[in-house]
Amino acid sequence: MIENEHQLDVPRFSDLPLRDELLREVEELGYQHPSPIQAQSIAPLVEGRDLLGQAATGTGKTAAFALPMLERLAQQRPEQSRGDAPFGLVLAPTRELALQVAEAVTRYGRGLRARVVTVYGGAPVGPQWRALQQGVDIVVATPGRAIDLLNRGALRLDELETVVLDEADEMLDMGFVEDIETLLDATPDTRQAVLFSATMPRRIETLAQKYLREPVTVRIRREAVPEGEAPKVRQTAYLVPRSHTTAALGRVLEAERPTAAIVFCRTRLDVDAVTETLTARGLRAEALHGGMDQEHRTRVVERLRSGRTELLVATDVAARGLDIDLLTHVVNHDVPQSSEAYVHRIGRVGRAGREGVAITLVPPAKVHAMRAVERLTGQPIEFAPVPTAADLRAARLERTSVALRERLVEDLRGDLLDEESGDGVREMLAGLTAEFDPVDVAAAAVRLLQVATGAPDDAEDIPVVTPRSGERREPRGRGGAAGTRPPKAGTTRLFVNAGRSSGVRPQDIVGALANESSLSGRDIGAIQIHERHALVEIPEHAADDVLRSLRGGTTLKGRRTNIRRDRGFATAGRGRRD
Ligand code: AMP
């Protein structure tokens, strides 16, 4: 029967070479089928093979190495014959990850009564030292503290049978390469070595070549989460001059309204500045610093979980090891140093098939870095225009209008009660409306409300830039009135009859003009994208030529589009809403 045939394809834990004590724990945890990485890694690892695995958090990689390690422990060292020296060592980049892994190993190894000890920096060494002295089967450690305990003679690696490097790329990024090599060199030649990494930069390959023997290689894309659903991460980039990054971020986040986001910044100073800007916009943002103790970090994460905070602003280092399942957005205030770092960051969303959003603010000089990410992941990153001040004002008014309407409907329903509510609001208004126009009174009330709720006026112009031609500045003035300003001297303005609603972006216009006329990207000046039209400045002397070449129209975003001289009737406020 078809159904049965299909079921034969689905791997089962009971087909894996794992003993009942382990299968029982897995079943109790509710795992129904091995995830792809588990299906591919467990059997060769139980056989004793070395393994090089490319897999991110969320793929089930912890069980993929922990279950075989426990199986081999049971095979080689039955409980009664266990000594003091550890059988297995797992190295992890951070305390948080080490604790998580240790918790998982302890849980999976419950039926086997495996003794698991976690050692990590930033905590007193004494208790960890004593725990190791009492006899241990599996040590989960961060590299620095492992070296420390090795040097003190507390961590014995001479009887080790298996070593796992978890998130090896992170460990190398954190500068642990020497520690890792020292630790690996201290293990017996006969031990099994397993290396897991979310990305495979050359340095990882070199490490693998040096320490792994004929490894089985397993590569799991993020999509292969245990639940079997592909995670969806919408990746959007906003092109802005570096000097306007923070202002643009405020606008993007206000428009996007994430439920729970991490905003990554390059430096601690940036973290503080960004937190301040976002807070001033009325967004609930909190800084997460590397120097915070564990308890403080836990509290901050708890506030995010409970919805009391919506944004955590952090550096990569401060956010290391944070594992927040409910995260909806990863926001890059700065383009990460490498494509691998980008992939790591966005790996925090879109888990278990949930939707996730990755937002990156990109200065023109870094567009190539985003293209490199696209090549690495094979997934497109969309460039979108930063919401204009007018867009945000319109959205805010819309929200106010919805709230007022709801309130009015409620009040009407309970009008009798309201008459008698005795709060004096109506009486106060009666006084004001005797003196002023009621609409003016209401308008003033709405403005006061906006001030009270911290709505910014977004007076700062955020210039529209294009990837090819570098930064360009809009003429001074408020965003919403862009179309009414005269073009810069020596330039003329062209009117394009397609805009944001057709998905037109500055780079599309640059592309069309540069492809179909004699203009090069450098000649093209400020570009303003409005809802249904766009304005672009070009040198006056080139205008006739350009218009001649474009006489038959051009194609933008797959749509026939006309370009002509702007006659100045593109007015402020046209098509403000997205
Ligand atoms: P990891 O990638 O190891 O961080 O695991 C991600 C999450 O998936 C953890 O919460 C595991 O408990 C869970 N998990 C691991 N293996 C499976 C499985 N086969 N079925 C369901 N959930 C799993």
Tell me the domain boundaries of the chain: 2-219, 232-386, 390-452, 491-565
Q: Is the CB of 38 under 6 A from ligand 1?
A: yes
Going 274 to 275 to 276 to 282, the CA torsion angle's sign is positive
Q: Is the CB of 40 under 6 A from ligand 1?
A: no
Closest C-alpha residue for ligand 1 atom 20: 31
Query: CB of 494 within 8 A of CB of 546?
Result: yes
Confidence tier at 81 by pLDDT (50, 70, 90): confident
Whole-number Å distance, alpha carbon 198 to ligand 1 midpoint, is: 16
139 or 121: which carries more pLDDT confidence? 139
Closest C-alpha residue for ligand 1 atom 18: 31
Confidence tier at 186 by pLDDT (50, 70, 90): very high
Using a pLDDT cut of 70, give the percent of the chain over it: 85
pLDDT in tens, 359-411: 999 998 888 888 888 887 778 888 888 888 888 888 888 888 888 887 777 77
Asked whether residue 477 carries a pLDDT value surpassing 60, the answer given is: no
| Average pLDDT over the chain, rounded to an integer | 83
**Residue labelled with tokens 């570098």:** 470
512 or 178: which carries more pLDDT confidence? 178
Going 350 to 201 to 145 to 286, the CA torsion angle's sign is negative
- Return d(Cα 458, Cα 475) in angstroms, integer: 15
Closest C-alpha residue for ligand 1 atom 15: 60
Please state the atom number of ligand 1 nearest to the C-alpha of residue 38: 19
DSSP state of 370: H
pLDDT in tens, 260-308: 899 999 888 899 999 998 988 888 899 988 777 777 878 888 888 888 8
Burial track 170-181 (b if 16+ CB lie within 10 A, e otherwise): bbbbbebbebbe
Asked whether residue 471 carries a pLDDT value surpassing 50, the answer given is: no
Query: Candidates 31, 57, 97, 103: which one to mutate for ligand 1, based on the most atoms within 8 Å of Cβ?
Result: 31
- Return d(Cα 56, Cα 45) in angstroms, integer: 19
Kind of pairing between the strands at 192-197 and 51-54: parallel
Q: Is the CB of 528 under 6 A from ligand 1?
A: no
Q: Is the CB of 246 under 6 A from ligand 1?
A: no
**Angle between the N-to-C axes of helices 438-452 and 389-413, in degrees from 0 to 180, rounded to the nearest 10:** 110
Please state the atom number of ligand 1 nearest to the C-alpha of residue 32: 20
357 or 290: which carries more pLDDT confidence? 357
What does pTM read for this prediction?
A: 0.48
Q: What would the two tokens of residue 459 be? A: 């007076």
Please state the atom number of ligand 1 nearest to the C-alpha of residue 57: 2
**Residue labelled with tokens 């030292």:** 129
Question: Residue 207 is which amino acid?
Answer: L
Closest C-alpha residue for ligand 1 atom 6: 58
Domain 2-219 in CATH 3.40.50.300? The answer is yes
Q: Is the CB of 60 under 6 A from ligand 1?
A: yes
Domain 491-565 in CATH 3.30.70.330? The answer is yes
* φ, ψ dihedrals at 494, nearest 5°: -105, 150
Q: Is the CB of 59 under 6 A from ligand 1?
A: yes
| 236 exposure class (CB count in 10 Å sphere: 0-12, 13-18, 19+) | middle
Per-residue pLDDT at 286: 92
Query: CB of 546 within 8 A of CB of 517?
Result: yes
Closest C-alpha residue for ligand 1 atom 5: 60
| 378 exposure class (CB count in 10 Å sphere: 0-12, 13-18, 19+) | exposed
Whole-number Å distance, alpha carbon 345 to ligand 1 midpoint, is: 19
Asked whether residue 179 carries a pLDDT value surpassing 90, the answer given is: yes
Confidence tier at 571 by pLDDT (50, 70, 90): very low
Burial track 94-106 (b if 16+ CB lie within 10 A, e otherwise): bbbbbbbbbebbb
Query: CB of 22 within 8 A of CB of 111?
Result: yes
pLDDT in tens, 213-260: 999 999 886 543 344 333 468 899 999 988 889 999 999 998 888 888
Fold assignment, 232-386: Rossmann fold (3.40.50)
What is the separation, in whole angstroms, between the first and last Cα of the chain?
Answer: 52
Please state the atom number of ligand 1 nearest to the C-alpha of residue 56: 2
**CB contact set of 457 (below 8 Å; sequence gap of 6+):** 389
| 340 exposure class (CB count in 10 Å sphere: 0-12, 13-18, 19+) | buried
Helix (H, G, I), strand (E, B) or coil at 529: strand
Whole-number Å distance, alpha carbon 325 to ligand 1 midpoint, is: 12
Q: Is the CB of 215 under 6 A from ligand 1?
A: no
Same fold, 232-386 and 491-565: no
